[in-house]
Structure 1
Amino acid sequence: MQRNILQYLEETQKRLPDKIAYGDENNTITFSKVYEEARAVGSFLANKGYYKEPIVIFMKKQPRTLAAFFAAIYGGCFYVPLDEEMPAFRIELIFEKLKPRAVICDESTRVLLNDFTFSGEAYLYDELINTEINHKALATIRDKAIDTDPIYIVFTSGSTGIPKGVVACHRSVIDYIDNLMEVLKVDETTIFGNQTPFYFDACLKEVLGTIKCGATTYIIPKSHFMFPLKLVEFLNEYKINTVCWVVSALTMISSFRVLEKLIPEHLHTIAFGSEVFPIKQFNLWKEYLPSARFINLYGPTEATGMSCYYEVERAFNLEEVIPIGRPFKNTEVILLNDDNKVAVPGEIGEICIRGTSVTLGYYKDQERTAEVFVQNPLNDSYPELIYRTGDLGRYNQWGELIFVSRKDYQIKHMGHRIELGEIEANVNRLEGIKSSCCIYHKERDKIVLYYTGDIEVRALVERLKKKLPRYMIPNHTEALEVMPLTPNGKIDRVYLQNKFLNKKEK
Structure 2
Amino acid sequence: MLCNVIEYFIDGALKSCPNKVAISDGGTEITFSELEKKAKDLAEALIGRVDVVREPIAVYIPKSAAVIVADLAIMYTGNIFMNLDTEIPLKRLGSILNHIEPKLIITLRDRVDTVLDAVDGVDRNQIIVLEELAEAERHSVATVSNDRYRNLIDTDPFCIINTSGSTGVPKGVVLNHRGVIDFADWAFAEFYLEEDTIVGNLSPFYFDLYIFDLVLCLSRGATFVIIPEKLPIFPVRLMEFVAREKISFLFWVPSIMVNIANLDLLEKVPLPALQTVFFAGEVFPTRHLNRWRRALPGVRFVNLYGPIEIHIDCTFYVVEGEIADDQPLPIGYPCRNTDIMILNEADQLCAPGEQGELCVRGSSLSNGYWNDPEKTARAFVQNPLNTRYPELIYRTGDLAMRGADGLIFFAGRKDYQIKHMGYRIELPEIEHQVLGIPGIANACVVYDHPKKAITLFYQPSGAEVGAAAIRKALSTVLPKYMLPTAYHSMERLPMNPNGKIDRNGLVLSLVEEE
TM-score, normalised to structure 1, is 0.82
Q: Which residue of 1 aligns with 2:483?
A: 495
Q: Which residue of 1 aligns with 2:147?
A: 140
Aligned equivalents of 2:112, 2:406: Cα separation in 1: 52
Residues 1:165 and 2:172 are matched in the alignment: yes
Q: Which residue of 2 aligns with 1:18?
A: 19
Secondary structure of the 1:271 match is: strand
Aligned equivalents of 1:107, 1:355: Cα separation in 2: 43
Match of 2:127 among 122, 125, 129: 122
Unpaired runs of 5+ residues, structure 1, are: 411-419, 425-438, 453-485
Per the alignment, do residues 129 and 278 of structure 1 end up closer, same or farther by CA in structure 2, a change over 3 Å counting?
farther
Q: Which residue of 1 aligns with 2:96?
A: 94
Q: CA RMSD in A?
A: 2.8
Per the alignment, do residues 500 and 448 of structure 1 end up closer, same or farther by CA in structure 2, a change over 3 Å counting?
farther
Per the alignment, do residues 262 and 129 of structure 1 end up closer, same or farther by CA in structure 2, a change over 3 Å counting?
farther
Q: Which residue of 2 aligns with 1:84?
A: 86
Question: Aligned-pair distance for 1:503?
Answer: 8.2
Aligned equivalents of 2:278, 2:5: Cα separation in 1: 23
Per the alignment, do residues 288 and 296 of structure 1 end up closer, same or farther by CA in structure 2, a change over 3 Å counting?
same
Residues 1:398 and 2:405 are matched in the alignment: yes
Question: Aligned-pair distance for 1:408?
Answer: 2.0
Match of 2:224 among 217, 223, 226: 217
Per the alignment, do residues 446 and 306 of structure 1 end up closer, same or farther by CA in structure 2, a change over 3 Å counting?
closer
Aligned equivalents of 1:447, 1:54: Cα separation in 2: 34
The amino acid across from 2:42 in the alignment is: V
Alignment of 1:145-156 (within 5 A): 145-156=152-163
Cα deviation, 1:158-185, whole Å, max 9, x if unaligned, reads 1222110011111111112111222332
Secondary structure of the 2:301 match is: strand
Aligned equivalents of 2:88, 2:443: Cα separation in 1: 30
Secondary structure of the 2:483 match is: helix
Per the alignment, do residues 381 and 491 of structure 1 end up closer, same or farther by CA in structure 2, a change over 3 Å counting?
farther
Residues 1:73 and 2:78 are matched in the alignment: no
Per the alignment, do residues 449 and 299 of structure 1 end up closer, same or farther by CA in structure 2, a change over 3 Å counting?
closer
Question: Aligned-pair distance for 1:350?
Answer: 0.8
Q: Which residue of 2 aligns with 1:339?
A: 346
Cα deviation, 1:406-458, whole Å, max 9, x if unaligned, reads 11269xxxxxxxxx99xx9xxxxxxxxxxxxxx99998899856639xxxxxx
Question: Aligned-pair distance for 1:318?
Answer: 2.5
Contact 2:37 2:141 in 1 (8 A): no
Which sits farther off after the overlay, 114-123 or 363-372? 114-123
Question: Aligned-pair distance for 1:16?
Answer: 1.0
Question: Aligned-pair distance for 1:275?
Answer: 1.3
Contact 1:60 1:109 in 2 (8 A): no
Residues 1:368 and 2:375 are matched in the alignment: yes
Aligned equivalents of 1:25, 1:134: Cα separation in 2: 27
The amino acid across from 1:114 in the alignment is: L
Cα deviation, 1:285-321, whole Å, max 9, x if unaligned, reads 1111011101001011111121111001121113311
Per the alignment, do residues 503 and 196 of structure 1 end up closer, same or farther by CA in structure 2, a change over 3 Å counting?
farther
Alignment of 1:31-430 (within 5 A): 31-48=32-49, 49-117=51-119, 118-119=122-123, 121-128=126-133, 131-133=138-140, 135-408=142-415
Contact 2:76 2:146 in 1 (8 A): no
Residues 1:6 and 2:17 are matched in the alignment: no
Contact 2:243 2:269 in 1 (8 A): no
Cα deviation, 1:171-210, whole Å, max 9, x if unaligned, reads 1111121112223321111111111100111111211111
Question: Aligned-pair distance for 1:491?
Answer: 10
Question: Aligned-pair distance for 1:96?
Answer: 0.9
Secondary structure of the 2:26 match is: coil
Per the alignment, do residues 160 and 216 of structure 1 end up closer, same or farther by CA in structure 2, a change over 3 Å counting?
same
Secondary structure of the 1:69 match is: helix
Per the alignment, do residues 226 and 70 of structure 1 end up closer, same or farther by CA in structure 2, a change over 3 Å counting?
same
Contact 1:276 1:321 in 2 (8 A): no
Unpaired runs of 5+ residues, structure 2, are: 421-426, 432-441, 453-474, 493-514
Aligned residues: 443
Cα deviation, 1:369-426, whole Å, max 9, x if unaligned, reads 011011101100111011111111111243211111111269xxxxxxxxx99xx9xx
Per the alignment, do residues 108 and 356 of structure 1 end up closer, same or farther by CA in structure 2, a change over 3 Å counting?
same
Aligned equivalents of 1:292, 1:491: Cα separation in 2: 33
Contact 1:40 1:129 in 2 (8 A): no
Contact 2:106 2:129 in 1 (8 A): yes
Cα deviation, 1:11-57, whole Å, max 9, x if unaligned, reads 21122111111112232221111111112222222233133211111
Per the alignment, do residues 318 and 77 of structure 1 end up closer, same or farther by CA in structure 2, a change over 3 Å counting?
same
Q: Which residue of 2 aligns with 1:29?
A: 30
Contact 2:333 2:406 in 1 (8 A): no
Cα deviation, 1:303-346, whole Å, max 9, x if unaligned, reads 11211110011211133111111111111111111110001110
Per the alignment, do residues 322 and 394 of structure 1 end up closer, same or farther by CA in structure 2, a change over 3 Å counting?
same
Identity rate of aligned residues, in percent? 35
TM-score, normalised to structure 2, is 0.80
Contact 1:23 1:62 in 2 (8 A): no
Contact 2:402 2:408 in 1 (8 A): yes
Secondary structure of the 1:408 match is: coil
Question: Aligned-pair distance for 1:129?
Answer: 8.9
Secondary structure of the 1:297 match is: strand
The amino acid across from 2:487 in the alignment is: F
Secondary structure of the 1:301 match is: coil
Secondary structure of the 1:296 match is: strand
The amino acid across from 2:145 in the alignment is: L
